[in-house]
Amino acid sequence: MTSSPHPGRARISIVGAGPGGLTCARILQRHGIAVTVHERESGPDARDQGGTLDLHADNGQLALREAGLLDEFFELARPEGQEMRHLDPAGAITAHQIPGPDDLFKPEIDRGRLRDLLLGSLQPGTVRWGRRLESITGPARGPRLLHFTDGTTVEADLVVGADGASSRVRPALSPAAPQYSGISFLEAWFSDVETRHPEIAALVGQGGAHAADGERAMFAQRNGDDHIRVYLIQRAPADWIAARGLAPDDTGAIRALLLDRYAHWSPRMRQLITDNDGRYVDRPIHALPAPHAWEHQPTATLLGDAAHLMPPLGVGVNLAMLDAADLARALADAATVGDAVRDYENTMLPRSTDIARALEGRAADLLDPPTPDDASGNGDEAELRTA
């Protein structure tokens, strides 16, 4: 039987170089604990990293403070992005949340800028790019063997699954798989909006704008660098595009379908369908069953979406980073890796269970017109994660 090593002598492999995995690595290194991050992408600029994120003072910002990066975050963040407009299908504002001049509770930051901040804080060589995990073998008490699609293997005393919704680490702990929520998002991009799309820029403002009629919705978010992303939200089968005999790049035909579905919305609002730059991006929304838990293993654990994928209602990245900070602190304080994993899961699993149960099935809430509570700042905001 293999005994669990002290974290300072352990071979720790994090799978996934998203905000959660990188935050965990950064905090571990601040405590003098060696760690390697394995990322399937070929490099930091391999693809678009997704839209904007709001990091909350009571979770995401706490993790950045633990990582020693909170001041740098505020230098990059957009507090004005906390503005939130609720619109009707005609484009009239029905509720408007405007942040105060010193409001830093949940400022926005582009996902790519957050990732660059975290990457730049790590020791050179921490992230191993182009490492797509295929499977994990070895006994639950360790050591574990990570098998990558390029034929290489790595032995580890602890494997941390920070690899998102389609986690390849999760099957080593749990048979659970994400289930389609019945809600589909179609993403549209708008660039150089102040010059090329001034009417849309004025409609959205500096933060987000949400409109819904009970059956369909739009959620638009201002990103950095004069970009806006719009999410067209519908209740539809996951394969609704293919079911129409279309491919994702059949932009004109998809646009015609959307214009039919939003036919009673005003021309001003339908600009968010017709004027986008380039193709649409299909994002069916999935979630893990709630609650999602697993039997403790001293050599493997999960954080973020790999552990508790939920509807995109503004909690995903914040929970992932809080998970990362909790796990890293547990490893810094524990006598063995196994003790640290148990302490971490005893904190993370009840928290994620409570939140997942509260959000279960609530992706459909984004289809509902705003309520009076939204005018006082109690409305949910969407947070879109790329796969």
User: pLDDT tens for residues 86-121?
Assistant: 999 999 999 999 999 999 999 999 999 999 999 999
Query: Does one domain contain both 73 and 17?
Result: yes
- CATH number of the domain within which 152 lies: 3.50.50.60
**185 and 151 in one domain?**
no
Tokens of 224: 């950095």
Q: For residues 332 and 236, give the distance between their C-alpha atoms in angstroms, rounded to a whole number.
A: 46
Q: Is residue 209 part of a domain?
A: yes
Mean pLDDT computed over 297-317: 94
Co-location of 248 and 193 in the same domain: yes
Angle (CA) 169-288-352 rounded to 5° is: 90
Same domain, 123 and 246: no
Number of domains in the chain: 2
* Nearest by Cα to 286 from 167, 157, 128, 180: 180
Average pLDDT (155-173) is: 98
Domain shared by 269 and 190, yes or no: yes
298 domain residue, yes or no: yes
Is residue 155 one of the residues assigned to a domain?
A: yes
pTM for the whole structure: 0.94
pLDDT for 373 equals 60
SS3 state at 107: coil
Q: Residue 386 pLDDT more than 70?
A: no
Residues 145, 281 share a domain: no
Q: Are residues 186 and 171 in the same domain?
A: no
Residue 377 has what pLDDT? Answer: 41
pLDDT above 50 (res 379)? no
pLDDT in tens, 230-272: 999 999 999 999 999 999 999 999 999 999 999 999 999 999 9
- With a cut of 50, say whether residue 375 has pLDDT above it: no
Around Cβ 29, how many Cβ atoms within 10 Å? 17
Name the amino acid, one letter, at 330. Answer: A
Residue 22 lies in a domain: yes
Strand partners, 41: none
The pair of structure tokens assigned to 163 is 């690899």
**Separation of CA 184 from chain center:** 16
Structure-derived torsion over alpha carbons of residues 256, 260, 261, 262, reported in degrees to the nearest 10: 100
What are the tens digits of pLDDT across the range 25-40? 999 999 999 999 999 9
What's the rounded Cα separation, in Å, for the pair 8 and 33?
Answer: 5
Mean pLDDT of 308-331: 94
Query: Is 255:273 a contact under the CB 8 Å cutoff?
Result: yes
Cα separation, 180 vs 40, whole angstroms: 24
Pair (13, 143) in one structural domain: yes
Give tens-digit pLDDT for 320-373: 999 999 999 999 999 999 999 999 999 999 999 999 999 998 999 999 987 656
User: Considering the domain boundaries, does residue 119 fall inside one?
Assistant: yes
pLDDT of residue 47: 74
Tokens at 236, concatenated: 């539809």
Digit-coded pLDDT (tens) for 123-147? 999 999 999 999 999 999 999 999 9
Provide the domain limits for residue 145: 7-81+103-177+288-361
CATH number of the domain bearing residue 264? 3.30.9.30
| Judgement on whether residues 160 and 217 belong to the same structural domain of the protein | no
Same domain for 196 and 162? no
Same domain flag for 191 and 262: yes
166 with 22, same domain: the answer is yes
